Structure 1
Amino acid sequence: MRLLAFGDSFVLGQGDPEHLGWVGRALRERAEVTLYNLGVRGETSADVARRWRAETEPRRVAGETAIVFSFGANDCHQEAGAPRVAAAQTLLNARAVLTEAASLGPVLMVGPPPMPDPGVCVRLETLNEHLKTLCGRLQAPFIDVFRPLFADGLWNREAGMLDGAHPGAGGYQRMAELVAAHPAWRSFARSG
Structure 2
Amino acid sequence: MKIGFFGDSFTKGVGDPTGKSWVGRLCEAAGVQHENFGVQGDTSEGVMNRWQAEAEGQGFDRLVFMVGSNDALLNEHRRVTINEINRLKNAKAIMMAARAVAPTLFVSALPVVDDAPASGRIGDMARQMGMIARINRVSYVDICADVAASNVWREEAMANDGAHPGEGGYQYLADLIANHPVWQDFLKA
TM-score (norm 2): 0.95
Tell me how far 1:183 sits from its aligned partner. Answer: 1.2
Tell me how far 1:52 sits from its aligned partner. Answer: 0.6
- Higher RCO (C-alpha 8 Å, min separation 6): 1
Out of 140, 143, 146, the residue aligned to residue 141 of structure 2 is 143
1:67 aligns with 2:66: no
Gaps of 5+ in 2: none
- Say if 1:45 and 1:75, in contact at 8 Å, map to a contact too: yes
- Equivalences for 1:33-48 in 2 at 5 Å? 33-48=32-47
- Say if 1:7 and 1:38, in contact at 8 Å, map to a contact too: yes
- Equivalences for 1:1-192 in 2 at 5 Å? 1-31=1-31, 33-60=32-59, 65-79=61-75, 80-116=77-113, 117-191=115-189
**Inter-partner Cα distance in structure 2 for 1:29 and 1:111:** 20
Code of the aligned partner of 2:52? R
Code of the aligned partner of 2:86? Q
- Say if 2:27 and 2:33, in contact at 8 Å, map to a contact too: no
**Inter-partner Cα distance in structure 2 for 1:152 and 1:9:** 19
What is the DSSP-based 3-state SS (H/G/I as helix, E as strand, rest coil) of the residue aligned with 2:149? helix
**Inter-partner Cα distance in structure 2 for 1:58 and 1:83:** 35
- Say if 1:114 and 1:156, in contact at 8 Å, map to a contact too: no
Which deviations, in whole Å up to 9, do the C-alpha atoms of 1:60-117 show, x marking residues without a partner? Answer: 25xxx10000011100110112111111111111111111111111000000111111
- Say if 2:4 and 2:63, in contact at 8 Å, map to a contact too: yes
Q: How many residues align?
A: 187
Give me the CA root mean square deviation: 1.2
Percent of residue pairs bearing the same amino acid type? 35
